[in-house]
Structure 1
Amino acid sequence: MDVRVEATEAGPRVRRSPSRGAIVAAAERLFLERGFGAVSMDELAEAAGVARRTLYNQFASKEEIFREMLRGVSDQLEGAFPPGIETQGDVEDVLRLIAHAILGLHMQPGYLGFLRMLVADARQFPWIAQAFAAVMEPQNERLTRYLAHLTAMGILNCRNPLLAAHQFMGAINELSLWPWLLGRESLAIPAEDLVEETVGMFLQYYRRR
């Protein structure tokens, strides 16, 4: 099995072998086309162009493959919300950066398709939704902590920072994410207008006076 492990501050990281990457790519394609439950391990091996034995050497189950896909989503999230984004200027500037980061995430290749698969399969496989929520939660917590910090500093007045964080993200998602997930065209609103109106509305309500 061609897997190398390299040490990092976060612990050992598995370096993908070519066959491992091919398996994950095939899984992404088939899961998005047909759903997690409808794809067998044998079909994954055939689509990846690897032997069944090679597949099982790399992954013991479809669940392991899905969790590897989730690591890719986690990497996209980390790229969208780099460390220190909360310190990039005053509150307007930071909220604009976060809003643009959310919009950028929605445009990542395969991200919306992944979410469609998640919605379709979560009822039959509840652990899928739980695993995805665990990936998303750190970024939600970062925004919540940021709003709580600004409230403690007397800049904002968020009595419930968690609620405020979800309100902010929801205003972006309502026009950028949900139309695509439901198979509709997104509203013809320029991204800059969406960001500016969302930030302005949020601060109009939550800025301490």
Structure 2
Amino acid sequence: MSETVQHPVGPAGQQPGKGARLPRTARRAQLLAAAQDVFAANGYHAAAMDEIAERAGVSKPVLYQHFPGKLELYMALLQTHADELIARVSGAMESTTDNKQRVQAAVGAYFDFVDSEGEAFRLVFQSDIRGEPVVQDTIERATRACVAAITATITADAGLDEERARLLAVGLVGASQVTAQSWLAGGRQIDKSEAVKLISTLAWRGIGGGYPLQHS
């Protein structure tokens, strides 16, 4: 199924031309990209569906064909980026059997996430409607999944019970998230690879120095 719209805006602000047709999945992706720019710049409350439609180069009826309201549009973005963060952290745990490298990869996953294009991290970490139950549930789900991925590794390799391993995982997730955001807010004054190494070294000295990991 394709749609015809006037003046659609393509990548890098290019306009394919009047009457361009896009498959539904491509149109949805285009709308989400435009919405992300607007939400990241303005926050949820100040973002307007009119502005999102204009940025995407579509009419409001076309936007509403895909998303019945602003919250549904926001949630589609939030869920996409929450899943992305989970995949990054889970992938970090699966990327190696060396636990020191795993810690560095986990920290790196957060730095890469906040440093990614489009400032997707703002939707996950700095949502101005975090009090909305569906938003809070999605963010908490992402945090729990990241903690669970790290907990499973620590439990298996450090000989700790699940509760103690989980507490260490919460500490690693919290440190990674806060320091990554601080690094970005500070204007990336330190090279990202060096910043990741600094934080992962701190975390590894605590985890690796205190517990008998099997793959160190």
TM bucket (normalised to shorter chain) is 0.7 to 0.9
Does the Cα contact within 8 Å between 1:86 and 1:146 map onto a contact in 2?
A: no
Distance 1:54 1:25 in 2: 15
Cα deviation per residue 1:123-179 (whole Å; 9 max; x = unaligned)? 4x343232222234322211112222224xx3x577522211011222333432245
Q: Unpaired runs of 5+ in structure 1?
A: 4-14
Distance 1:28 1:58 in 2: 15
TM-score (norm: length of structure 2) = 0.71
Please say if 1:114 is aligned against 2:118.
no
Amino acid at match of 1:21: A
Distance 1:164 1:45 in 2: 44
Cα distance change of structure 1 residues 57 and 84 upon mapping to structure 2, 3 Å threshold: same
Which of residues 180, 193, 198 is equivalent to 1:176?
180
Give the drift of 1:82: 5.2
Amino acid at match of 2:135: I
Does the Cα contact within 8 Å between 1:88 and 1:94 map onto a contact in 2?
A: yes
After TM superposition, list the pairs within 5 Å mapping 1:54-93 onto structure 2.
54-77=62-85, 79-81=87-89, 83=91, 85-86=93-94, 88-93=96-101
Does the Cα contact within 8 Å between 1:157 and 1:206 map onto a contact in 2?
A: no
1:81 alignment partner, SS class: helix
Give the drift of 1:95: 2.1
After TM superposition, list the pairs within 5 Å mapping 1:121-160 onto structure 2.
121-123=129-131, 125-151=132-158, 154=159, 160=164
Distance 2:53 2:121 in 1: 25
Amino acid at match of 1:195: S
Cα distance change of structure 1 residues 164 and 38 upon mapping to structure 2, 3 Å threshold: same
Cα deviation per residue 1:13-34 (whole Å; 9 max; x = unaligned)? xx96332222212211111222
Distance 1:115 1:84 in 2: 19
Cα distance change of structure 1 residues 107 and 39 upon mapping to structure 2, 3 Å threshold: closer
Give the drift of 1:56: 1.6
Distance 2:101 2:94 in 1: 9
Task: Out of 164-173 and 126-135, give the one that drifted further.
Answer: 126-135
Name the counterpart of 1:197. Answer: 202
| Identical positions, percent | 20
Cα deviation per residue 1:36-64 (whole Å; 9 max; x = unaligned)? 12233333222321122211211112222
Distance 1:87 1:186 in 2: 26
Distance 1:134 1:159 in 2: 18
Amino acid at match of 1:128: V
1:129 alignment partner, SS class: helix
Amino acid at match of 1:103: F
Cα distance change of structure 1 residues 82 and 149 upon mapping to structure 2, 3 Å threshold: closer
Cα deviation per residue 1:80-110 (whole Å; 9 max; x = unaligned)? 2355834722322322322222322222121
1:63 alignment partner, SS class: helix
TM-score (norm: length of structure 1) = 0.73
